[in-house]
Amino acid sequence: MNSLSKHLQFISISKNIICSPNDKVKDILYRFDYTHGRPLIVLSNNDLLFGILSSGDIRSFITNRIASLEESYVHEVCNKNPVFVRESDSNTVIERLLSNNITLIPVLNLNRQVISCVFNEYPSIIIGDKVISTNKHYVYLIAEIGVNHNGSFEEAIYLIDQAVNAGFDAIKLQIRSDTTYSSDSYESKELSVQYIENEINRTKLNWNIYEKLIKYIKQHEKDVICTPFDEQSLDFIITLNVDAIKIASCDLTNDPLVIKAGKTEKPIIISTGMSSESEIIHANNLLIRHGNHAFLHCNSTYPAPHEDVNLAYISRLSELSNCVTGYSSHDGNMFIPYAAIGFGARIIESHITRSKDQLGTDHLASIEVRYLPEFVKSIRIISESIGDDLPRVPSQGEMLNRISLGKSLCYLKDLKSGHSINNTDLSLRSPAIGYKYSDMNEIMGKVLTCNVKEGQILMPDHIYSSQINDISFPNLGISNLIPGIPVRYHDINHLDSKFNLPLYEFHMSANDLRLSPQDFLNLKTFKSKILIVHSVEQYDDGFILDLASNNEHHVNESIKRVIALFKHVDLLRQFFSNSQSVPIIINCGGHTQTKPLTAKDANQKTIKIGKIMKELQADYPFTQLLAQTMPPFPWHQGGRSFHNCLTSISSIYHYLDSSGLDICLDISHTALAANHLDFDFYQAITDLIDQTGHLHIADASKSNQEGQQIGDGILDFHQILKIYANQNKTYTFIPEVWQGHLNHGEGFHQALSFIEESIKNII
């Protein structure tokens, strides 16, 4: 797949991107949401350009304190001498004018009326509430009814229902008037024309029926796309407020129809079958200033022979048109549309039919309705799998396997301190938590600083002095954020000697519960420090904790194992200052393996979790139970699962209401859930401020990249920390960054340093 690039994008003028000189500034600020921060165009009477209003203009106005913004008018604030271009100006001129400072330019006609505007952006088309873009992976699916209703209203309804239930984004209808074909005598026409004209007459529906069908589609909240085959049909569908207009391949060269469709300001989709490249370029030039159009590659034979489909042209079509491109399938095959996505198609249009065995022109070129659910599901999976062609980095799931299955340099024999390492001293063994084979040259000749055992992983402190200086973060300079780090029994004393933090969160494994705390801890060292415990989620016998399982035996076993943890904590708590109330973080379960639950079922499971946690809390008063907020896609034994509980805001509040307990808010988990479920992350963590008993802090990106080092993801930690630093409540937290404990806690040190510096700037 080719690297994505931005191109000139022309969009027509709509009320959301314009304002009047006499508007109050405060009343039109919301429109910057629609422009994604780009300027608004200020129009005077008769759509004449008055000026441009940018966020920079508003900031400058406020800074100079010319007047109160609350009562200021647009004409007082805007730039009255903006850069603009004429509709006759070339794209080369426009590209030179656009810059980091000039992000949008109005396009004027000879009368100085604004007819469109232009900016540099990834090609996109907006249909209904869907933004289809070359830099987004969503594939927009159109079910083409065409003439496969066979002239029957009932059959059309049946096909619409099947497409709706399968999950298509849009339903497309074909509409013709009596002027589609010439009035020449039937006998004088070619045989092929007679055949097609017969089929059209056989399957013809009157326009009243089409009105009913369009209304029916809209009732099912699907987009309606119509193909007019003549200008009268176009006039008709405009009155029905369809969501987009499709220009059929046969009309790509019908300039009057294309131009008239463009002037409707509706999204335009054009199929390119039967057309030459020069004709495609010509059609694109007709619509380029319209700005909301896309091209579909297709072969206009029914069905199209596989060897004639030529999917590779989709990439060239994208380069030629600088538009979103797609594939209009006439092949009657599910696999060819799948492959089209790999060539850059972001719109897939497929004819659908009850049966390929029916008489008619299009049935053999269609997908039978019994296959539609599978077709849509596969398209959604493929679109999620597209990714990008940026330099490769391992995914979160791969990192788990990379560590457990990869190899580190290990010692082949016992060696004494002072030994100079040579290539006969080392071999490779799992796990991959130390030096890699590619580090061999760096290691050769290094002198051991300690005795080592055969089979032991070579670690940095074996050949170097400590990479992290002893450092303390005493409350990060303020009173309401208390820092800690995650620890295990085997590393707590070492990490405490490096960090000396006021808090430690034990991340328990099943094996840890078999250990004796007194073998690792002493009262003198930790009596002034806070203990937090993270429960086991996945046990070494394959059991996964799930308080919401439909299997009550599994629920009872989960409760039994949680109680075993409590008994271990009862032994551990005597070494710490908060022995009367130990926060215990629990990943409560509710996951599914093959698909997510409905919101209703997920909330019911969450309520079940809440009730069990409430009972456990009452039975073990020395604990403070904190259910952890969860990501949408956890990694469990056997691969990726779907989390259903404590992911959505609705689920979190169902837990809070049913349990009466606080939560451990995992910043990274909740950010991933916000990305996947499309809710406002920053508003969510603000709303949950009073119910947050502990914080896990790490960066995140996409919907599955969790636990990233702060600054490596997409989160604004200055905004996040400001939310918590401005509260009267005290919060404990740890940096929950992936592999932060390696190299003497280097990752934890980096995260805490970032947090410390950020908070200094806040306060």
Per-residue pLDDT at 547 exceeds 90: yes
Q: Please give the DSSP secondary-structure letter assigned to residue 97.
A: H
How far apart, in whole angstroms, are the C-alpha atoms of residue 262 and residue 271? 15
Per-residue pLDDT at 4 exceeds 60: no
Once rounded to an integer, what is the mean pLDDT over residues 708-727? Answer: 87
Once rounded to an integer, what is the mean pLDDT over residues 15-37? Answer: 85
pLDDT at residue number 1: 38
pLDDT at residue number 192: 62
Greater confidence, 10 or 487? 487
- What CATH architecture applies to the domain 124-384? Alpha-Beta Barrel (3.20)
- The reply to whether CATH 3.90.1210.10 applies to domain 396-462 is yes
How far apart, in whole angstroms, are the C-alpha atoms of residue 77 and residue 64? 11
pLDDT at residue number 478: 54
Question: In angstroms, what CA-CA distances link 70 with 23, 24, 26, 52, 73?
Answer: 12, 8, 6, 19, 9
DSSP string covering 181-230, please?
S--S-GGGS-HHHHHHHHHHHHT---HHHHHHHHHHHHHTT-EEEEEESS
Q: Which residues of 528-537 are buried (b: 16+ CB within 10 A; e: fewer)?
A: ebbbbbbbbb
CB 518 within 8 A of CB 565: no
Give residue-wise pLDDT tens across range 642-683. 999 999 999 999 999 999 999 999 999 999 999 899 899 999
What's the pLDDT band for 687 if we cut at 50, 70, 90?
Answer: very high
Angle at 281 between CA 276 and CA 285, to 5 degrees: 150
613's CB contacts (< 8 A; 6+ apart) are 547, 586, 588, 625, 627, 655, 659, 661
pTM above 0.75, yes or no: no
Tokens of residue 523, six digits = 């009262």
Question: In angstroms, what CA-CA distances link 449 with 417, 421, 435, 458, 463?
Answer: 5, 11, 16, 11, 6
Once rounded to an integer, what is the mean pLDDT over residues 555-560? Answer: 97
Greater confidence, 3 or 756? 756
pLDDT at residue number 471: 52
How far apart, in whole angstroms, are the C-alpha atoms of residue 172 and residue 245? 9
Where in the sequence of the chain do the CATH 3.10.580.10 domains occur? 7-121
Where in the sequence of the chain do the CATH 3.20.20.70 domains occur? 124-384
Which region holds residue 650: left if phi is over 0, alpha if psi is between -120 and 50, else beta? Answer: alpha
What proportion of the chain, given as a percentage, has pLDDT over 90? Answer: 55
Where in the sequence of the chain do the CATH 3.90.1210.10 domains occur? 396-462
Where in the sequence of the chain do the CATH 3.20.20.150 domains occur? 475-762
Per-residue pLDDT at 536 exceeds 60: yes
Cα-to-chain-centroid distance, residue 244: 25
CB 628 within 8 A of CB 663: yes
Which of 12-26, 54-68, 633-647 ranks highest by mean pLDDT?
Answer: 12-26
Per-residue pLDDT at 99 exceeds 70: no
How far apart, in whole angstroms, are the C-alpha atoms of residue 254 and residue 279? 10
Once rounded to an integer, what is the mean pLDDT over residues 493-517? Answer: 94
Give residue-wise pLDDT tens across range 176-225. 887 766 666 556 566 666 666 677 777 788 899 999 999 999 999 999 99
What's the pLDDT band for 475 if we cut at 50, 70, 90?
Answer: very low
663-666 and 623-628: which strand pairing? parallel
pLDDT at residue number 13: 77
Per-residue pLDDT at 267 exceeds 80: yes
CB 672 within 8 A of CB 708: no
pLDDT at residue number 664: 98
Q: Which residues of 455-464 are buried (b: 16+ CB within 10 A; e: fewer)?
A: eebbbeebbe
Once rounded to an integer, what is the mean pLDDT over residues 506-527? Answer: 95
Give residue-wise pLDDT tens across range 593-636. 888 999 999 999 999 999 999 999 999 999 999 999 999 988 76
How far apart, in whole angstroms, are the C-alpha atoms of residue 523 and residue 515? 17
How far apart, in whole angstroms, are the C-alpha atoms of residue 502 and residue 489? 17
165's CB contacts (< 8 A; 6+ apart) are 372, 373
How confident is the prediction for the chain on average, in pLDDT? 87
How far apart, in whole angstroms, are the C-alpha atoms of residue 493 and residue 517? 12
Q: Which residues of 634-670 are buried (b: 16+ CB within 10 A; e: fewer)?
A: bbeeeeebbbbbbbbbebbebbbebbebbbbbbbbbb
Peptide bond into 303 cis (omega under 30): yes
Give residue-wise pLDDT tens across range 306-338. 889 999 999 999 888 888 999 999 888 899 999
- Residue 493: which of 462, 467, 517 has the closest Cα? 517
pLDDT at residue number 87: 82
Place of tokens 């790999």: 342
Q: What fold does the segment set 475-762 form as a domain?
A: TIM Barrel (3.20.20)
pLDDT at residue number 714: 83
Decide: residue 188, CB within 10 A, 0-12 exposed, 13-18 middle, 19+ buried: exposed
How far apart, in whole angstroms, are the C-alpha atoms of residue 440 and residue 421? 10
What proportion of the chain, given as a percentage, has pLDDT over 70? Answer: 91
Question: In angstroms, what CA-CA distances link 12 with 8, 29, 74, 327, 434?
Answer: 13, 20, 22, 25, 57
Per-residue pLDDT at 272 exceeds 80: yes
Per-residue pLDDT at 638 exceeds 70: no
Per-residue pLDDT at 506 exceeds 90: yes
What's the pLDDT band for 375 if we cut at 50, 70, 90?
Answer: very high
pLDDT at residue number 247: 94
Decide: residue 71, CB within 10 A, 0-12 exposed, 13-18 middle, 19+ buried: exposed
CATH number at 7-121: 3.10.580.10
Which region holds residue 447: left if phi is over 0, alpha if psi is between -120 and 50, else beta? Answer: beta
pLDDT at residue number 85: 85
Once rounded to an integer, what is the mean pLDDT over residues 554-578? Answer: 97
What's the pLDDT band for 474 if we cut at 50, 70, 90?
Answer: very low
SS (H, E, C) 447-478: ECCCCECCCCECCHHHCCCCCCCCCCCCHHHC
